[in-house]
Amino acid sequence: MKGPYGLELNDGCKSCKLSGAGFFCHLGPAAVKEFDAIKSTSTYPKGALLFVEKQDARGVFVLCQGEVKLSISSSEGKTLIMRIARAGELLGLVAAMAGTAYEVTAETIHPCQVAFVRKEDFQRYLANHPDASKNVFNQMSSQYTDACEQLRTVGLSSSANEKLARLLLTWSARAPKTRTGTHITMPLTHEEIAEFIGTTRETVTRTLSEFKNRQLISIQGSALNIPDRAALEDMANVSEPFRGSGHAVPVKETASAWRLRMDRVQ
C-alpha cells in the first residue's frame, strides 16, 4: 500500500516484507498477532525526532522502514552520532525496559514507517510471550556491541584517516560485492560523518578526497564504491578482514595516551 513520503507501507507485522531480520521474523503467529493489537503505526518525514535524549521513556519504537540516526550531545552543543538504526530494530529499548530516560536522540535520516508501543504494554507483552524475550536480549546485545565499536573508533583510532576508513568498512560490511568492488550509499552528509567520528566537516571532505586520489574509493553523488577492501583495511589499521561490529583492533597506546585522545575528541 502506497503511503506518505512515497513509502510502500506494511499493513501489519504478519504481512511485513522484512525477511530474516528484525524483532519479529522468528516469532510465532500468536505473538505477532498480539503485537499488532498493541502497536500504533505512523510515518515520518526526513529529519523528524522520534524521541530526545534525557526525555522520559514513553515506550519502544519498531523501525519498520527507513533509517534513523542515534546521537548524544554535550551541554556545549557538540554532537556525537552513535550509530544508524535500520529496519527491524527496536529503538528506546533499554530506557523503556528500565523505566529511565532515553539515552540518545533518534532522528529519521529518510522517510520512515515506525510502530510505537507504550512501555507498560510492551512489558506485559514480554511476560505473555517469553519467546520474544530472547529477541529483546539479542537486540540489546547487538546495540551494546555497536556502541563499543563506535567508542573504539572514536576513542582509539589514531587519525581521521583511520576513523573514516573504519566507518566506511562498517557501512560496507553487509553490502553486495561485485567485480568492481563493494557498493554502498552513504547515509550521512559530510557534516554528519564528522559528528560520527569526532572531527570536522572540512576534515571529512579532505580525507574523502585523499581516499579518492589514492584510489581507495570512488564517489558519484552519494554512491560510494570500495574497489579493494584490503587496501582500506590497511588504512583502518585492522589486523584481519573487517567484519563490522565487534571486530578487535590492535591497541598499542597507554591508558594516559587514551585519556588524552578522548580529551581531544571532547
The model carries a pTM of 0.78
Residue 251 in this model has a pLDDT that exceeds 50: no
Measured CA to CA, the distance from residue 36 to residue 38 in angstroms comes to: 6
Which of the four pLDDT bands, split at 50, 70 and 90, describes residue 61?
very high
- Cβ(172)–Cβ(226) below 8 Å: yes
Measured CA to CA, the distance from residue 86 to residue 93 in angstroms comes to: 14
If one counts the domains in the chain, the total is 2
When pLDDT is averaged across residues 5-30 and rounded to a whole number, the result is 66
Same domain flag for 93 and 167: no
How high is the mean pLDDT of the chain? 84
Question: What pLDDT score was predicted for residue 45?
Answer: 95
Q: What percent of the chain has a predicted confidence (pLDDT) above 90?
A: 56
Same domain flag for 211 and 112: no
Same domain flag for 134 and 214: no
pLDDT digits (tens, 9 = 90+) for 115-152: 999 999 999 999 999 888 888 888 888 888 888 888 88
Same domain flag for 12 and 99: yes
Same domain flag for 48 and 126: yes
Which of the four pLDDT bands, split at 50, 70 and 90, describes residue 254?
very low
Which of the four pLDDT bands, split at 50, 70 and 90, describes residue 14?
low
Average the pLDDT over each of 201-210, 230-239, 248-257 and give the range with the smallest value: 248-257
Domain that holds residue 244: 157-265
Helix, strand, coil percentages for the chain (3-state, nearest 5): 40, 25, 35
Last residue of a domain, one of 92, 120, 154: 154
- Cβ(91)–Cβ(116) below 8 Å: no
Give the CATH number, domain containing residue 214.
Answer: 1.10.10.10
Last residue of a domain, one of 154, 172, 207: 154
Same domain flag for 135 and 9: yes
Same domain flag for 49 and 73: yes
Measured CA to CA, the distance from residue 20 to residue 35 in angstroms comes to: 18
When pLDDT is averaged across residues 64-89 and rounded to a whole number, the result is 92
3 compared with 49, residue with greater pLDDT: 49
Question: What pLDDT score was predicted for residue 103?
Answer: 95
Last residue of a domain, one of 154, 177, 198: 154
Average the pLDDT over each of 23-32, 143-152, 184-193, 197-206 and give the range with the smallest value: 23-32
Residue 24 in this model has a pLDDT that exceeds 80: no
Residue 23 in this model has a pLDDT that exceeds 80: no
Same domain flag for 140 and 199: no
Give the CATH number, domain containing residue 103.
Answer: 2.60.120.10
Residue 157 in this model has a pLDDT that exceeds 50: yes
Same domain flag for 13 and 125: yes
Grid cell locating 195: 559528528
Same domain flag for 104 and 196: no
Same domain flag for 112 and 172: no
Q: Are strands 67-73 and 105-108 parallel, antiparallel or unpaired?
A: antiparallel
Q: Helix axis angle, 160-172 relative to 229-236, nearest 10°?
A: 140
Grid cell locating 231: 587496501
Same domain flag for 149 and 202: no
